[in-house]
Amino acid sequence: MAGGWRDLLRADPTPWLLEPSNPAARYSTLRYLLNRPADDPEVLASQAAIPAYPPLAELLASQKPDGFWVKRDYYLPKHTGTFWVLCVLGDLGLTADHPQIEQSCEFIFTFQREHGPFCRRRRVSGRGLVWDTEPGPCTHARIARFLIQFGYGDDPRVRAAIDWLLAGQRDDGMWDCGRPNRPGCLRATHDVLRVAALDSEAAVHPAVARGAAAVSDLLMTEGMKRYHVGIPWTMLQWPPFDYSLVGTVDSLARLGDTLNHPKIAEATDYLLSRQLPGGSWPLDQTSSCPPFDPGHLGKANKWVTLETLKALKLLLDTVPGED
């Protein structure tokens, strides 16, 4: 190994990440760590094998005929409903070229209101199905994000969703979940930045620059807990259903932050300190009922290792002083 992010690893985990038994991890390793082009034969082969990966094959087989999981309320049950499943699948390399993904996305679009936001509908006695007034920005942002990942970034429906999201920023640069008289929600702001990091048009919006500045200044501070973060920032989790330090570092790096920012440098040092001897990272926490088993707590975890390395690579391959 030589150069950049690889020089700071205790060992090289890429042979482990490239094991054919997990084609989703192999695909992302080839594509985003080893910089293979999208049309590379090994990239294409690993991506094509993702739906047959046993945990995902079982999950896809449990999809209902109309494209949802468990029930028609796209959000519930928490962590196993359609919204949660698609959040995971979006990170694993599947796209709307797969007919089941396309069907699920079209199911999600049925919950979009005419002015852009995705809202749940509830059955009310005497009124039938009625729309919620407005969605939480965190849930809405995650829907926009997985739709971009699945290939809908240029769809007018997604553009309207992003426009609605960016228009909801607070004066302090953050977003909130219905708590206008309290500090902004770091989790919601994190989710907005994760959308912008994947969308070139949103990335240059002034609201995103303000949000990124607000979040980067909060990194690694005790004050983070005031901003509606459900778990300690030190936790390495998968699936990242809550605030994720790794996800935030990744987004800030994609949006232009570098190690010149002291909080980014501190977060990077922390993540590097969490390496296991084999160059991997452990799973600290998962949800009570994830869509599929992510692995054992405290043990080396391919999903956490991959996401951490993707974030670190963005920063460690950037020479400080160039931003």
Residue 6: DSSP 8-state: G
DSSP 223-265: GGGGG--SS-TT--BSS--S--HHHHHHHHHHTT--TTSHHHH
The whole-number average pLDDT for the span 201-207 is: 97
- CA-based angle 38:257:36, to the nearest 5? 15
Res 1: pLDDT? 34
pLDDT (tens digit per residue) in 253-265: 999 999 999 999 9
Please, what is the end-to-end C-alpha distance for the chain in angstroms?
26
Res 125: pLDDT? 65
Percent of all residues in the chain with a pLDDT value above 70, rounded to a whole number = 92
Percent of all residues in the chain with a pLDDT value above 90, rounded to a whole number = 75
Residue 49: DSSP 8-state: H
Q: What is the mean pLDDT of the chain?
A: 91
pLDDT (tens digit per residue) in 150-163: 999 999 999 999 99
pLDDT (tens digit per residue) in 80-130: 999 999 999 999 999 999 999 999 999 999 999 888 999 877 666 666 666
**Cα-based torsion angle of the residue sequence 92, 95, 100, 105 in order, rounded to the nearest 10 degrees:** 100
Residue 231 reports pLDDT greater than 60: yes
Res 312: pLDDT? 96
Res 133: pLDDT? 66
- Comparing 66-80, 161-175, 178-192, 276-290, the range with the smallest average pLDDT is 178-192
Contacts of 177 (CB under 8 A, 6+ apart): 136, 137, 138, 185, 187, 188, 228
Res 322: pLDDT? 47
pLDDT (tens digit per residue) in 273-301: 999 999 999 999 999 899 999 999 999 99
* CA-closest candidate to residue 139, choices 165, 174, 171: 165
DSSP-derived 3-state class of residue 185: strand
Res 211: pLDDT? 96
Highest mean pLDDT range out of 7-21, 107-121, 168-182? Answer: 7-21
Res 130: pLDDT? 66
Residue 122 pairs with which residues in a beta bridge? 130
CA distances from 22 to 17, 19, 54, 59 (A): 8, 6, 9, 15
The answer to whether 298 touches 292, Cβ cutoff 8 Å, is no
State the pLDDT confidence band at 180, using cuts at 50, 70 and 90. confident
Residue 99: DSSP 8-state: H
- Comparing 6-20, 137-151, 182-196, 307-321, the range with the smallest average pLDDT is 307-321
Residue 178 reports pLDDT greater than 90: no
Find the largest Cα–Cα distance for the chain. 68
Choice between 46 and 322, residue whose per-residue pLDDT is larger: 46
Distance CA 298, CA 311 (A): 21
Res 260: pLDDT? 95
Choice between 2 and 107, residue whose per-residue pLDDT is larger: 107
Residue 187 reports pLDDT greater than 70: yes
Distance CA 62, CA 89 (A): 14
Establish how many alpha carbons lie within 13 A of residue 11's alpha carbon, considering only the half-sphere containing its beta carbon.
Answer: 12
DSSP-derived 3-state class of residue 296: coil
Please tell me whether the overall predicted TM-score, pTM, comes out greater than 0.95 for this model: no
